[in-house]
Structures are given as structure tokens and as C-alpha cells.
């Protein structure tokens, strides 16, 4: 397995064995992530975070992960404060990050932006979300969370609920779950179904998820309910958004029909798709999931910068 110098653009670029290795490395990062031990693994190395779209968890957890490993962080959270506002191209911004840092995390509204950036950078580029495309590091921490909660990923029944059309987390997640022989069910409002391109990609490897618009019909024997918000910012027409807004909601009433040990996950931010009353139930795993961003992103940074070994 060769991680040093690798870009992290899409889940599909990694084998199942490589994914498991990242999760195992993340496991080892937990004591440091919790502040119980100190590390200098990446001392003197610099992470450059280039965020052209809003972010709380992805940017802050990458920055925190880098600092826990002893490294430094530069970058911007809003392109209006960077030379992009003067008309600089993405390619030139990437060239600068390449000169000033050791690894780049890029979030950008255009699908394919991370892949494009990786062609201009000699240092590793990590995709922190490219439009409605992919969000591979979110998927790694999602898999880590399922394994933590359930002991294993294989054989579980996982519902992906919400905006499957524009949600990049579910695109990456679907490809990853397919590698783990998971029974997947896609539940979305009409018009926000999983893109046919993803369905075709899954069927080419022999995976055919059940697709439905009705959560009630499938909740009973699910092990994981992965909820997403409607990606309002990706709708060309606000009228189309208003037609689907508020059409699904996970609440105590719905969970009465679920398995006792069903875990509810969400990449966050949530809007109204998980009722606040669910937070206090053992089903709620979304805040633990958010914490897992730290050990998993620590493992990713360490692997792409240092590779294997102590
Ligand atoms: C997600 C994203 O940006 O795709 N957020 C995250 O990184 N945790 C999900 C979302 O914005 O809905």
C-alpha cells in the first residue's frame, strides 16, 4: 500500500484494503485526538486549506487534525478575502498553495475541481467537497463511525435518506458501501433520486440498491439511517427547492418502528430533517460522527504526508 504523496479525490481511487487501513490508522489516533497524548508526527509541515464554499466541520476538523499532529495551517475560509476576488484562476491559486504548503484541502462549488487542482499541484490534494460530486474524507469518517457503532460494516442494512441528487456525501458513501457488501436502500423525495450515473456505476459492480420515496416502508430492519439535508444552494430554481423542502423528517414517531440499535447518522449541518428530540436518544450518532472527523483526518494527513511507518 502506497499512501505517501497520494491525492484523495474520490473514494473509488482506493481499494477496500486501503480504506480499512486508513480506518485502522484512525483508530490509533483517538488518544491524541482526545488530548490524552501529544504527537509531533507532522512538525514543520503545512496544511493549506482553500475553501471556496462554506464549511464548519470539514475545515475546522482538518485544521485541528493538522495541529494535533504538530503541523501548521494556512489558507482561507472565504474566497472573497483572497486573490480569487481579483480574478485569479483556480490553477494559479493552486500553484501558490503548492509553493507555500505541503498538502492542500480544497472545497469548491464545481464538480471536478479537486481533480483539476491535483493536476497543477505536486503536493497531495485532498477533496473537501467538489460541488455535487464527491466528499471522500467524509465517507471515511462515516465508515469509521459505522464500524465503531456496529463492530463491522459488512452485511449491514443502510438507508441513505434525503437529497441523493445533489448530496456529495451520499455519492461517495454509495460507492464505498458497495465495496463492503452492504444492503443499501436509497430514499429520497421525488426528483432528488440518486443520479443515474451512480446507479450505473453500482450496477457495473453487481450492486442494485432498492430505491423508494417512502421511508416508513423500509425503516423497520435498517441498521443505519444516514440522513442528509436538501442542498438548497445547488437548485437552479428556488421554486423547485420549495416543492421538496420539509418533505421528510426523522422524529420519535418514525423511530418507534425502527430497530432498538438503529443508528441515525448525518454529515451535518442539519436543517429540519432530524427533529431535536432525537438528540437525546441512543439512536443519535451524528455528534459522535462529527468528532470522528478528527482521528480520521489525522490518519489521512499522516498517510499522505509520511506514508507508512513510525
Ligand atoms: C456536507 C457537505 O459539505 O457536503 N457537510 C460536511 O462536510 N459535513 C453536507 C452538507 O453540506 O449537507
pLDDT digits (tens, 9 = 90+) for 218-267: 999 999 999 999 999 999 999 999 999 999 999 999 999 999 999 999 99
Work out the average pLDDT over 132-158. 98
Best residue among 106, 132, 135, 164 to mutate for probing ligand 1's pocket (most ligand atoms within 8 Å of CB) is 135
Instruction: Indicate if the pLDDT at residue 309 is higher than 70.
Output: no
The number of CA neighbours under 13 Å toward the Cβ of 1 is 17
Nearest alpha carbon, ligand 1 atom 1 = 267
pTM score, whole prediction: 0.97
Centre of ligand 1 to C-alpha 138, Å, is: 8
Q: Is the CB of 134 under 6 A from ligand 1?
A: no
Same fold, 11-134+293-306 and 136-290: yes
Task: Please state the φ and ψ torsions of residue 47, each to the nearest 5 degrees.
Answer: -95, 135
Q: Please name the residue whose Cα sits nearest to atom 11 of ligand 1.
A: 269
The CATH number given to 11-134+293-306 is 3.40.50.1370
Question: Which pLDDT score is estimated for 308?
Answer: 82
Mean pLDDT, to the nearest integer, of 156-164? 98
The answer to whether the beta carbons of residues 271 and 229 sit under 8 Å apart is yes
Query: Between 293-306 and 57-68, two packed helices, what is the crossing angle to 10 degrees?
Result: 60
Across the chain, mean pLDDT equals: 97
Residue 295 Cβ contacting ligand 1 at under 6 Å: no
Domain 136-290 classification at class level:
alpha beta
In this structure, are residues 108 and 53 in contact, taking their beta carbons and an 8 Å threshold? yes
> For residue 310, how far is its CA from the centre of ligand 1 (angstroms)?
32
Distance CA 127, CA 135 (A): 6
How big, in percent rounded to 5, are the helix, strand and coil portions of the chain? 45, 15, 40
pLDDT of residue 1: 86
User: Domain locations in the chain?
Assistant: 11-134+293-306, 136-290
Is residue 103 within 8 Å of residue 297, measured between CB atoms?
no
Backbone torsions φ then ψ of 211, nearest 5 degrees: -120, 135
How much of the chain exceeds pLDDT 90, in percent? 98
Question: Using the 8-state DSSP alphabet, how is residue 215 labeled?
Answer: S
Amino acid at each position: 500500500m502506497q499512501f505517501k504523496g497520494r491525492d484523495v479525490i474520490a473514494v473509488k481511487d482506493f481499494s477496500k484494503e486501503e480504506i480499512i487501513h486508513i480506518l485502522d490508522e484512525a483508530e490509533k489516533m483517538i488518544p491524541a485526538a482526545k488530548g490524552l497524548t501529544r504527537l509531533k508526527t507532522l512538525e514543520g509541515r503545512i496544511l493549506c486549506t482553500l475553501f471556496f464554499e462554506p464549511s464548519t466541520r470539514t475545515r475546522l476538523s482538518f485544521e485541528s487534525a493538522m495541529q494535533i499532529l504538530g503541523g501548521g495551517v494556512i489558507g482561507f475560509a472565504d474566497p472573497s478575502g483572497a486573490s480569487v476576488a481579483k480574478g485569479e484562476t483556480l490553477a494559479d491559486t493552486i500553484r501558490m498553495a503548492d509553493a507555500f504548503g505541503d498538502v492542500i484541502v480544497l472545497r469548491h462549488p464545481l464538480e471536478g475541481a479537486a481533480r483539476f487542482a491535483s493536476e497543477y499541484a505536486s503536493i497531495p490534494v485532498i477533496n473537501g467537497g467538489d460541488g455535487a460530486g464527491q466528499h471522500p474524507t467524509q465517507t471515511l469518517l462515516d465508515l469509521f463511525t459505522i464500524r465503531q457503532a456496529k463492530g463491522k460494516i459488512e452485511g449491514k442494512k443502510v438507508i441513505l435518506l434525503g437529497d441523493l441528487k445533489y448530496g456529495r456525501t451520499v455519492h461517495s458513501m454509495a460507492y464505498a458501501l458497495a465495496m463492503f457488501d452492504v444492503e443499501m436502500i436509497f430514499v429520497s423525495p421525488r426528483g432528488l433520486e440518486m443520479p443515474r450515473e451512480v446507479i450505473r456505476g453500482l450496477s457495473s459492480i453487481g450492486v442494485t440498491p432498492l430505491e423508494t420515496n417512502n421511508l416508513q416502508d423500509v425503516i423497520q430492519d435498517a441498521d443505519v439511517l444516514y440522513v442528509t439535508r436538501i442542498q438548497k444552494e445547488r437548485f437552479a430554481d428556488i421554486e423547485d427547492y420549495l416543492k421538496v423542502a420539509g418533505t421528510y423528517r426523522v422524529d420519535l414517531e418514525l423511530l418507534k418502528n425502527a430497530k432498538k440499535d438503529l443508528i441515525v447518522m448525518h454529515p451535518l449541518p442539519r436543517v429540519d430533517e432530524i427533529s431535536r428530540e432525537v438528540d437525546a436518544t441512543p439512536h443519535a450518532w451524528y455528534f459522535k460522527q462529527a468528532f470522528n472527523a478528527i482521528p480520521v483526518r489525522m490518519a489521512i494527513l499522516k498517510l499522505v504526508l509520511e506514508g507508512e511507518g513510525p
